[in-house]
Chains A and B, each alone.
Chain A
Amino acid sequence: MPTHTLIIGYGSPIRGDDAIGLIAVERLVERGLAADVTALARHVLTAELVTELECCQRVIFLDAAAIGEPGAIAVRRIAPDVTAHSTLAHVLDPAELLAWCQRLFGHAPEAYLITVTGACFDYAHCQLSPIATAALEHLIAQVGNWLLSESASILANSDSTDCGDNQ
């Protein structure tokens, strides 16, 4: 059975580089997604997304990070975590969302969190800094490659935490 992959890009569209997950999803959709891939853009992760997670075998969260070298891309495998309670009721952490899925449906998809460290989070409507813009292209290329691969190769690539193009 083909792996159904769900991509969720999330962030605020009006806080500069925080929009990178949203924009990445937009670009991926423009370039065309395979039939077994679904992409969603969300302001925040909410509980209702658990019904989307239930239906997929693999989920890739795309988010901005505030910590690290601006432009750095980090990939990490994440697992359900019931201790990752969000302190805000309407916003969930990816690991918490996976835990919701695990608890409610008895299973959770294989999951990855890919982040790009932003350079600027000032007010800007879906406008990325030059550093984040450069990283965006690497992010899309990497996600595109990963979509063609199985999870093992994602993990093989995931140890690299910098796309090396953050000038």
Chain B
Amino acid sequence: MSRTITIEPVTRIEGHARITLQLDADGQLEDARFHLTQFRGFEKFCEGRPYREMPALTARTCGICPVSHIIASNKACDHLLAVDIPPTADRLRRIMNLAQLVQSHALSFFHLSSPDLLLGWDSDPATRNIFGVMRQNPELARDGIRLRQIGQTMIETLGGKKIHPTWVVPGGVAEPLSAEKRESMLKLLPEGLEIAKRTYAFYKTLVPKFKDEAAHFGTQPTLFLSLVTPQGNLEHYDGVLRVKDAQGRILEDQVPPEEYERLIGEAVEDFSYMKFPYYKPQGYPQGIYRVGPLARLNNVQACGTPYADVALAEFHMLQDSGPIVSSFHYHYARLVEILYGLEMIERLLKDPAILETRVRARARSNRYEGIGVSEAPRGTLMHHYRIDDDGLITWLNLVIATGHNNLAMNQAIREVAQTYVDGNHLQEGMLNRVEAVIRCYDPCLSCASHAFGQMPLVIELRDAAGSVVNRLTR
């Protein structure tokens, strides 16, 4: 008799999801699926709104990622205006985007994933949480809070508020940076960098303990997609698209972001409200690719900042050769990017040009179609708008960072379930590993599905007829 195990919702992620594991009569895995169960529909209700409202409207997609949506949305609006924004505005937007990267990665590593990494996959779920981390390693927990605070403070300094700032506008930014604000941000960076270095060094000591997880957490070959600089280095704000395969061959390079539709198709499945983007030349569902910190580091030759470049070299040593394939190493990649983000912010702030006062290009719409692409913490984020003569949105498409990883996440939970789940002797630690592989991707399901609500964890065992034969609740 076949059975279904349902993990609902998945915990310690941003948003709400369900995992189902279909077992055969012998208790072996037949299939595994990752479901987004709720729908909000930004692409529909934004129709008819003025394009200038898009940054504020789409930022409401999420309380974690508003800056990412603000950046991508304003880039799409810049494209509609057909303007090149002033160089100083470009640099200021980069700082805000990197501050978002730092605070978001800090949340993922310190608050969401550290319970597994520090306390163990099989530890008591009642204490396998942030309070357990605080008990075992309070300094790490304090570092996480402080690092996130530093990122948030920089966002607030630039944008006037931590969440949903309105300082980034079509054509640039609303006001230049003052010398006082620059100094206040620069003062935060030494402490932030010390925390980042300390955490990176600590994590390197943990990595050898996770050989088993690294060998089974999403190790199936996929492609990697990200923005890179024209020279092939790390890029989070602008640049060109690159696609690399699991053997390290570059399949696509120097692709202008405006041509993303040439590379990416989007499929839908009836079991999830998240779309299933795929690499068009390989078709669906074969065209599986990953985005985010792992993909970004796999796609580049260098970060371009001193400490991050050392860490990048060490990251590549996690595997004998080729791109790092295990999704478990998203955690590692996140720490490298935190180092990079803080170093790059310091470099940008120390450039005297950062205080220049020409920060906004003003124009009316000069195109009917605008595309904005940037790297959000979780991966490549695409905003695509079409407008009419009155500047009203007639169509829009949001390709969300988490969505890009949808096929890969489904593939990863199948791999982890096949490795760890024994349907005849179900243990909580097995199911936690299934959840944990999803946490590696740090999915933001509020962005990807626009879901909301509470998420108690329910695990159900169902027989072939759909009857619940066992049920665990967290």
Contact = CB atoms under 8 A, between A and B. Distances in A.
Nearest to B151: A48
Interface stretch (B130-138, B187-195, B202-210, B333-341): B130-138
A165 B207 CA distance: 60
Nearest to A87: B455
Contacts of B111: 47, 89
B131 A44 contact: no
Contacts of A47: 111, 144-145, 148
Contacts of B134: 100, 103-104
A90 interface: yes
A103 B14 contact: no
A48 B135 contact: no
B145 A51 contact: yes
A46 B60 CA distance: 17
Contact of A44 (B141, B148, B163): B163
A53 to B, nearest CB: 11
Interface string A3-43: 00000000000100000000000000000000000000001
Interface in A38-81: 43-44, 46-48, 50-51
A141 interface: no
B145 A85 contact: no
Nearest to B141: A104
A14 B66 CA distance: 15
Contact of A103 (B63, B135, B164): B135
A99 B14 contact: no
Given A48-B152, A100-B134, A88 B129 contact: no
Interface in B116-141: 129-131, 134-135, 138, 141
Interface residues of A, number: 19
A91 interface: yes
Contacts of A48: 145, 148-149, 152
Interface in B34-70: 60, 63-64
A103 B131 contact: yes
B456 interface: yes
B129 A90 contact: no
Given A44-B63, A51-B149, A99-B131, A87 B163 contact: no
A89 B114 CA distance: 13
Nearest to A106: B138
A43 B135 contact: no
B63 A43 contact: yes
B454 interface: yes
Contacts of B399: none
A82 B134 CA distance: 11
Nearest to B454: A87
B14 A90 contact: yes
A82 B127 CA distance: 10
A91 B452 CA distance: 13
B326 to A, nearest CB: 23
B277 to A, nearest CB: 24
Interface residues of B, number: 31
A66 B12 CA distance: 26
B129 A91 contact: no
B361 interface: no
B166 to A, nearest CB: 12
Nearest to A88: B14
B125 to A, nearest CB: 11
A85 B63 contact: no
B163 A43 contact: yes
Contact of B138 (A44, A88, A104): A104
Interface string B1-24: 000000000011110000000000
Contacts of B135: 103
A28 to B, nearest CB: 19
A50 B149 CA distance: 10
A87 B456 contact: yes
Contacts of B138: 103-104
B63 A90 contact: yes
B9 to A, nearest CB: 8
B142 A104 contact: yes
Nearest to A14: B60
Nearest to B104: A90
Instruction: Output the residue of A47, A50, A82, A91 with the most chain B CB within 10 A.
Output: A47
B112 interface: yes
A85, A87, A89: most-surrounded residue (chain B CB, <10 A): A89
Interface in B142-174: 142, 144-146, 148-149, 152, 161-164
A91 B63 contact: yes
Nearest to B62: A90
B107 A90 contact: yes
A88 B452 CA distance: 10
A51 B191 CA distance: 15
Contacts of A46: 152, 162
B417 to A, nearest CB: 24
A96 B145 CA distance: 14
A89 B163 contact: no
Q: Which of B60, B135, B145 counts the most chain A CB atoms within 10 A?
A: B145
Given A43-B161, A48-B149, A104-B134, 11 more contacts: A43-B162, A43-B163, A47-B144, A48-B148, A51-B149, A87-B456, A88-B14, A90-B14, A91-B63, A103-B134, A104-B138
19 contacts: A14-B60, A44-B163, A46-B162, A47-B111, A47-B145, A47-B148, A48-B148, A48-B149, A51-B146, A87-B11, A88-B455, A90-B63, A99-B131, A100-B134, A103-B131, A103-B134, A103-B135, A103-B141, A104-B134
Closest 4 CB pairs of A and B: A48-B149, A103-B134, A87-B455, A82-B131
Interface of B: 11-14, 60, 63-64, 107, 111-112, 129-131, 134-135, 138, 141-142, 144-146, 148-149, 152, 161-164, 454-456
